[in-house]
């Protein structure tokens, strides 16, 4: 299986959901209540004035106009690169091979998941109590594990 931290993922998803819920509630309140809308407009203009004074505090000749703008773009590019690296490291673990063994000069023997799936399907072909099978192989901590799923008919004995 993958090395993904499920608890951390769920915490981050819950926090993102709460932030989006709060933003939606604030937007709805600004649309329905004139006092909230006026407060949002005043806060927005105050933030824009503060951002303008921040940009003016670190001038840069040329089209960028401010070092803060360059730093913001660099931070966004860095965040995008880190996100792409994190996405590339996620998942995985699944492998089409169950085993592989090299035998010197004779060659290499590879057992693939399809062979195991075919063998299980053939072994259970006449059994009416088994509705379906699924075989997959996973690599974790340098070892390969086999997952075999059998879907049995309701009321069938586990034996």
- As averages over each run of 10 residues, the pLDDT of the chain (159 residues) reads 74 96 94 90 92 84 81 95 86 79 86 90 88 87 84 83
pLDDT of residue 4: 66
CA–centroid distance for 102 within its chain: 35
Residue 106 counted as domain residue: yes
**The two structure tokens encoding residue 116:** 């195991």
pLDDT of residue 2: 55
**Domain extent for 46:** 1-57
Task: Determine contact, residues 71/60, Cβ cutoff 8 Å.
Answer: no
Those residues with Cβ within 8 angstroms of residue 40's Cβ, 6 or more apart along the chain or in another chain: 26, 30
pTM over 0.75: no
Alpha carbon distance 93, 90 (integer Å): 9
**The two structure tokens encoding residue 118:** 């075919």
**The two structure tokens encoding residue 50:** 């503060």
pLDDT of residue 128: 87
Residue carrying the six token digits 């921040």: 54
Task: Determine contact, residues 68/54, Cβ cutoff 8 Å.
Answer: yes
Residue 159 counted as domain residue: no
pLDDT of residue 40: 87
pLDDT of residue 1: 43
Tell me how many domains the chain contains.
3
Alpha carbon distance 90, 76 (integer Å): 21
pLDDT of residue 74: 96
* Sheet of 94-95, strand order: 94-95, 130-140, 143-152
End-to-end CA distance of the chain: 28
Distances (CA, A) of 45 to 38, 40, 49, 83: 11, 9, 6, 32
Angle at Cα 136 formed by Cα 11 and Cα 148, nearest 5°?
100
Same domain, 145 and 98: yes
Residue 157 counted as domain residue: no
Residue 6 counted as domain residue: yes
């Amino acid at each position: 299986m993958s090395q993904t931290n499920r608890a951390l993922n769920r915490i981050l998803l819950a926090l993102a959901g709460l932030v989006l819920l709060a933003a939606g509630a604030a937007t709805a309140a600004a649309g329905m209540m004139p006092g909230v809308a006026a407060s949002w407009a005043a806060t927005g203009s105050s933030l824009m004035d503060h951002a303008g004074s921040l940009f003016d505090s670190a001038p840069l000749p040329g089209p960028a106009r401010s070092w803060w703008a360059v730093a913001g773009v660099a931070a966004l590019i860095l965040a995008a690169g880190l996100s792409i690296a994190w996405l590339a490291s996620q998942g995985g673990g699944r492998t089409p091979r169950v085993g592989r063994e090299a035998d010197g000069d004779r060659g290499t023997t590879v057992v693939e998941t399809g062979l195991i799936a075919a063998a299980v399907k053939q072994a259970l072909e006449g059994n009416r109590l088994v509705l379906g099978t699924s075989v997959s192989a996973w690599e974790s901590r340098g070892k390969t594990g086999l997952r075999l799923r059998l879907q049995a008919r309701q009321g069938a004995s586990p034996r």
